[in-house]
Structure 1
Amino acid sequence: MKYLFLTGLFALALIRSSAQGNYDVAKIPEDLKRDAIVVIRNEEQFFDIKSLGSGQYDYKVAITILNKAGDDFAEMAEVYDKFSSVYNMKATLYDASGKKIKDYKSSDIRDQSLISDFSIFEDNRMKLLKFVSLNYPYTIEYSYSKDYKGLLSLPSWRDLKGFGVAVEQSVYTIQKSKNYQFRYLTSANLKTDSVAIGEKIQYKWKSSKVPAVVSEPLSIGLDNISSWVKASPNQFEYDGSTGNFNNWQNFGSWMYSLNQGGNKLPDATKALVQNLIGNAKTPQEKIRILYNHLQQNTRYVSVQLGIGGFRPILAEKVAQVNYGDCKALSNYMKALLNEAGIASNLIVIGNDMPSLNPNYSSMGQANHMILCVPLEKDTTFLECTSQYDPMGFIGYSNADRKVLMVTDKGGKIITTPAYQPKDNYQIRKTKITLAEDGTGILNLKSKYANAQFEENQRMMLLEPSEQRKRLIENSNIPIDEMISFKYEQPDKTLPIITEELNFKTNQIFSKSGEKIFLTINQVNKREHVPLKVDNRKTFFAVPFGYNDEDEISYTLPKGYSVEFIPKDISIVSEFGSYSAKFANKDNTLTYIRTQTMNNKKYAPEKYNELVDFYKKIFQADKQKAILTKTL
């Protein structure tokens, strides 16, 4: 008996020792700790599709937080609504050696609403636990289960959760009945294992020993280097609605069916429409009048209630309350146009997301809705959530994307208009009057269009006091005295903003004896060059293509003339082009700078070439003229 008792104690101690050793940081391979802020020790994601409209998701993960930069990963957070429930949540904190520090109780887990500032109807909630440790490294482990009532989509999976994240092991399994049909996409070269287990089939994907990737400038994501899976049902049931997602045409048919009967307007609104367009001569005039009416009389709010997250609020309801989400406002505009005898189509789009995959239809590739008005000789797209955008301007984050047009015959993939670099322009003329003491008076007149209109639109909408404050804070030239400033949108039908600034500065050039050394480009110059990245991993792109044209004319101080000006400069690459021209005539020094950048996706190995291109521009923008005293 004594022998058995001691053997039992030894076995128990061995089990405890083994458990503690599982998360010992010392056991993480050095190549996984290199460049990492966290290491995913083990992740298990299991989704069991129980029927057309139900499923169970089981999730378990252990993450080692190596330093303070990784604290954002130290939380358990899961969203649910009336069509899902989260339960069986467990969480544990371990120290660096893998010793258990704390088991969290259910009372430690917050259950909070996810109603956002712009939402008034939303049933999403979150169960949240934030882990806290003052000592690094530490490890968190948590798990939970989630039941779904309605399957519009299936959980996705990715091994790399972000930059600075390494992975020891991550596994994703989908289990389904033999008769259930679904589709999936995977990253290149990711192996799919499938096995039949009784009446079920399991699909499994796994990843192991993946080192962290350091954050890279201008990166467009980790898709090309991470392992990932996206999955979607074919037939589905959700909130009393059924449909089929096996292609975009059927997807569009489902969206169209959700809005059946939703375009009716109250009689008073119909009469208002007819009164508004009474004197309009063309369809374009009618569209403009009704779009202006929409902007002036409605506001955006989010609605996320069950199928209401996908079905627009009835047009007659929007007419009564004067608010709605992107679906409701787009549908309301559609109803207004219909009353005016103009046909239009709802557009499902991924705002600031990649284009829809034409060969793979699924929920989750889009997050927004706009409106398309196809006329005989022109097609107009309308962003119905903005109270300030001109008619036809949908914003850079909606431009040049494959989107889904919803028609009575189903969905159709089309492409939204593209804004080329020449369309996203900034044109600026600057006059600078120099004084011998180094001070200057500046007058800047700028014009911003399309994507650059978007960048400056918020500035135009600020109060003058806030405009003044930001101008002084953000000016490349120190502002000694702000004389005047003005922002305008001269033509409300065009996405163009004008800006005029007048100010004094006391730091415009340097002086040595009777010579003045003047950096010629004062207002739009490259201030730094990014570092080169050896063995870059991710693709990159500039935020948007653009064209900047700057002309600066200097009135020289009395008694001074130009002794030296640089030669003209021209730089051309696949990323864009740059030119600088210098001229001196009648005591006026003139500088003309043009830079065009292309918005394309570039392979990782091209990045250092971009740095070289920027370096040449940086040097060109530092060119100086020499003025000498003649009297």
Structure 2
Amino acid sequence: MKYYLSLAIGILASMGSVFAQTDYDVTKIPENLKTDAAVVIRNEESFFDIKGLGAARMDYKVAITILNKAGEEYSEMAEVYDKFSSIYNIKATLYDANGKKVKDYKSSDIKDQSLISDFSIFEDNRLKLLKFASVNYPYTIEYSYSQDYNGLLSFPSWRDIKGFGVSVEKSAYTIQKAKNYKMRYLTSRNLPTDSVIIGEKVQYKWKSTNVAAISSEPLSTGIDNVCAWVKAAPNQFEYDGSSGNFDNWQNFGSWLFNLNQGGNKLPEATRLMVQNLIKDAKTPKEKIRILYNHLQQNTRYVSVQLGIGGFRPILAEKVAQVNYGDCKALSNYMKALLNEAGIPSNLIVIGNDMPSLNPDYSSVGQANHMILCVPLEKDTTFLECTSQYTPMGFIGYSNSDRNVLMVTENGGKIVHTPVYNAKANYQIRKTKIILAEDGTADSEIRSTYANAQFEENLSMTLMEPVELRKKIIEGSPIPMAQLTSYKYVQPDKTVPVLTEEINFKTNPILTRGGDKLFLVVNQINRHENVPLKVENRKTYFAVPFGYNDDDEISYVLPKGYNVEFLPKDISITSEFGSYTAKFSVKDNTIVYNRTQTMNNKKYAPEKYGEYVDFYKKIYQADKQKAVLAKTL
């Protein structure tokens, strides 16, 4: 999702003052802030004034210089609000490179539109949108607004650097509260907090100045380790007629549990259906599987984000009637089905594709999803209830290996989701290639993908034949002359394993030199490039997921040829993973075995050079050639 500047708010002086800086002449920008930058935040100020448990006001103003076309994504105001907030007093101005005013925008220039996500049909978010336009670079935009909140579950967060290619002259954030109002905050390392008492109010202030831009870095896990940031949250709160306490995860879980009281009732017809479905099941695991299959076959996912409905699941009896719901509703419905079967379960609040929940800091913004946990006596099963295709117990790589919140009658409890390690995320492939003297070949590929690699390839089973055929041809590492057959199958619907069978005729893969033929032995899973070197890297990095690839390729040689040269075996090991390549000849057939294992760890920036060197060795190893010669 596009990152809007308003979501990382700065600071406005406590008395609602205007900018001290109003000269937006681009020549006044320090040279170090132009290096590697497409955008310069000239000044960003925000003042968040907490009026009470359920009310606050934010005053925000920002000036942004767009240096070139690469910074165009920042040349708009896009502010989100809903029925619990209102945005008003919007002012916006465009300046040229010399800082001369070009245009003051009118309220009629600002669009007010519904913000319904691609995956949502019930959502009350709206958007105040203004797209600034200039035919010449550089130029500066400036806008400001006020926003009132009626209900406070969370506070605006702040960071000085908005992304790669963005530098900062000034950015700051102030939170004002009553002395007796309880809240918590986290800050980036070494960011000082300036607190001041003004009458009966306390102000917390953070600021950042003269921060150079960072160029985009490969495999980056984000810029949190190099930018200044603040996250803040209330203890007690009031929102949409509900109140609670977020001072720890246990209390957060209690609020969620109480919010759903009475939400697990099922219609009588659904209760009878459950009993009928499980009447022959012998074990709890078998009952879970039957009911989970029923959920997948009879419901569909629809996002619902309406006030407290963003946190309270739709009643189970309602889902039973309409057969759809969001992640909360479907998880709660599955919980109700299990209750009827006599199997207890717990809702799980999780950050899908987000970092683990911080066990020492509870807040709404760390999670965006809900799944279900079924704690059996000798096994614990996690259920992803929004997918109609994934097997029971497989929750997807973006939900794995992280702290999550289990909602119980005794409150919230931090637990950890299953880990899919490199060995579990495997690809096993056997390929047979029958070579012809003209360099072409007949090829058969048989692959098996598991867990994260199953998830990565699952879409292949859902495509229309014409689309699938096109994707296979375009994605083939070997140039195809003719795709003769293909098949994708999930042999056991209860296991996250997918098989692939592809048969095709190739364009020439042998090259000729005199009376000899040259063969790049790794034709299937070859690295074609090396990650770019990054001098003085700033951000941490990681591979998308740990994995284990095991390839065997058998080359049946052309008639009248034998092997004149075969590369030696190769072994490469590092903290990032391992690689082996083995070459052998048997019965006029070259057998090539390649195994690559990559560890999914987060590495410090200074390790990146070693990572590139490791990949460079693999790149060279994947280019090894065999030489074929005519027999006498």
- Is 1:437 aligned to 2:438, yes or no? yes
**How many residues are aligned here?**
614
Q: Tell me the CA shift for residue 282 of structure 1.
A: 0.1
Farther-moved stretch of structure 1 (265-274 vs 454-463)? 454-463
Whole-Å separation in 2 of the counterparts to 1:20 and 1:47: 21
Whole-Å separation in 1 of the counterparts to 2:286 and 2:21: 73
Where does 1:72-221 land on structure 2 (aligned, <5 Å)?
72-221=73-222
Structure 2 gaps of 5+ residues are 1-18
What amino acid is aligned across from residue 99 of structure 1 in structure 2?
Answer: K
Structure 1 or 2, whichever has the larger Rg, is 1
Check conservation: 1:110, 1:127, Cα contact below 8 A: yes
Whole-Å separation in 1 of the counterparts to 2:57 and 2:26: 32
Q: Tell me the CA shift for residue 475 of structure 1.
A: 1.1
Whole-Å separation in 1 of the counterparts to 2:534 and 2:507: 39
Note closer, same or farther for the CA distance 1:287–1:21 as it changes in structure 2 (3 Å cut): closer
Matched position secondary structure for 2:288: helix
What amino acid is aligned across from residue 576 of structure 2 in structure 1?
Answer: F
Whole-Å separation in 1 of the counterparts to 2:141 and 2:117: 28
Check conservation: 2:62, 2:144, Cα contact below 8 A: yes
Provide Cα deviations, 1:599-630, integer angstroms capped at 9, x if missing partner: 00000000010000000000000000001000
Check conservation: 1:373, 1:379, Cα contact below 8 A: yes
Find the counterpart in structure 2 of residue 13 from structure 1.
none
Matched position secondary structure for 1:426: strand
Provide Cα deviations, 1:12-32, integer angstroms capped at 9, x if missing partner: xxxxxx999710000000000
Whole-Å separation in 2 of the counterparts to 1:507 and 1:64: 53
Q: CA RMSD in A?
A: 1.0
Where does 1:211-360 land on structure 2 (aligned, <5 Å)?
211-360=212-361
Find the counterpart in structure 2 of residue 524 from structure 1.
525
- Is 1:469 aligned to 2:470, yes or no? yes
What amino acid is aligned across from residue 395 of structure 2 in structure 1?
Answer: I
Q: Tell me the CA shift for residue 506 of structure 1.
A: 2.1
Matched position secondary structure for 2:532: coil
Provide Cα deviations, 1:26-82, integer angstroms capped at 9, x if missing partner: 000000000000000000011000011100011100000000000100010111111
Q: Tell me the CA shift for residue 513 of structure 1.
A: 2.1
Provide Cα deviations, 1:330-363, integer angstroms capped at 9, x if missing partner: 0000000000000000000000000000000011
Whole-Å separation in 1 of the counterparts to 2:234 and 2:516: 75
Whole-Å separation in 2 of the counterparts to 1:527 and 1:277: 52
Q: Tell me the CA shift for residue 117 of structure 1.
A: 3.1
Provide Cα deviations, 1:496-525, integer angstroms capped at 9, x if missing partner: 110000000122110122211100000001
Whole-Å separation in 2 of the counterparts to 1:121 and 1:513: 69
Check conservation: 1:21, 1:97, Cα contact below 8 A: no
Q: Tell me the CA shift for residue 138 of structure 1.
A: 0.1
What amino acid is aligned across from residue 388 of structure 1 in structure 2?
Answer: Y
Runs of 4+ in 1 over 2 A off after TM superposition: 18-21
Q: Tell me the CA shift for residue 116 of structure 1.
A: 2.3
Q: Tell me the CA shift for residue 460 of structure 1.
A: 1.4
Check conservation: 1:20, 1:98, Cα contact below 8 A: no
Check conservation: 1:96, 1:138, Cα contact below 8 A: yes
What amino acid is aligned across from residue 548 of structure 1 in structure 2?
Answer: D
Provide Cα deviations, 1:161-220, integer angstroms capped at 9, x if missing partner: 000000000010000001100000000000100111111111100000000000000000
Where does 1:39-58 land on structure 2 (aligned, <5 Å)?
39-58=40-59
Matched position secondary structure for 2:366: coil
Where does 1:463-542 land on structure 2 (aligned, <5 Å)?
463-542=464-543
Check conservation: 1:20, 1:97, Cα contact below 8 A: no
Find the counterpart in structure 2 of residue 15 from structure 1.
none
Whole-Å separation in 2 of the counterparts to 1:530 and 1:345: 43
Whole-Å separation in 2 of the counterparts to 1:192 and 1:139: 30
Farther-moved stretch of structure 1 (465-474 vs 594-603)? 465-474
Provide Cα deviations, 1:230-282, integer angstroms capped at 9, x if missing partner: 00000000001000000000000000011000000000000000000010000
Find the counterpart in structure 1 of residue 15 from structure 2.
none
Q: Tell me the CA shift for residue 585 of structure 1.
A: 1.3
Find the counterpart in structure 1 of residue 64 from structure 2.
63
Whole-Å separation in 2 of the counterparts to 1:295 and 1:534: 49
Whole-Å separation in 2 of the counterparts to 1:585 and 1:606: 41
Find the counterpart in structure 1 of residue 7 from structure 2.
none
Whole-Å separation in 2 of the counterparts to 1:393 and 1:526: 29
Note closer, same or farther for the CA distance 1:475–1:207 as it changes in structure 2 (3 Å cut): same
Structure 1 gaps of 5+ residues are 1-17
Whole-Å separation in 2 of the counterparts to 1:136 and 1:178: 47
Check conservation: 1:162, 1:222, Cα contact below 8 A: yes
Find the counterpart in structure 1 of residue 603 from structure 2.
602
Whole-Å separation in 1 of the counterparts to 2:85 and 2:263: 27
Whole-Å separation in 2 of the counterparts to 1:543 and 1:322: 34
Find the counterpart in structure 2 of residue 559 from structure 1.
560
Whole-Å separation in 2 of the counterparts to 1:34 and 1:20: 22
Check conservation: 2:438, 2:508, Cα contact below 8 A: no
Find the counterpart in structure 2 of residue 569 from structure 1.
570
Check conservation: 1:421, 1:546, Cα contact below 8 A: yes
What TM-score do you get using the length of structure 1 for normalisation?
A: 0.97
Matched position secondary structure for 2:373: strand
Check conservation: 1:122, 1:305, Cα contact below 8 A: yes
What amino acid is aligned across from residue 188 of structure 2 in structure 1?
Answer: S
Whole-Å separation in 2 of the counterparts to 1:56 and 1:31: 35
Whole-Å separation in 2 of the counterparts to 1:440 and 1:543: 34
Check conservation: 2:218, 2:532, Cα contact below 8 A: no
What amino acid is aligned across from residue 298 of structure 2 in structure 1?
Answer: N
Provide Cα deviations, 1:507-558, integer angstroms capped at 9, x if missing partner: 2110122211100000001110022111000000000000000000010001
Farther-moved stretch of structure 1 (529-538 vs 112-121)? 112-121
- Is 1:545 aligned to 2:552, yes or no? no
Find the counterpart in structure 1 of residue 581 from structure 2.
580
Find the counterpart in structure 2 of residue 368 from structure 1.
369
Find the counterpart in structure 2 of residue 11 from structure 1.
none
Check conservation: 1:438, 1:509, Cα contact below 8 A: yes
Provide Cα deviations, 1:98-156, integer angstroms capped at 9, x if missing partner: 00000000000000001223222111100000111110000000000000001000111
Whole-Å separation in 2 of the counterparts to 1:66 and 1:483: 52
% same residue: 78
What amino acid is aligned across from residue 192 of structure 2 in structure 1?
Answer: K
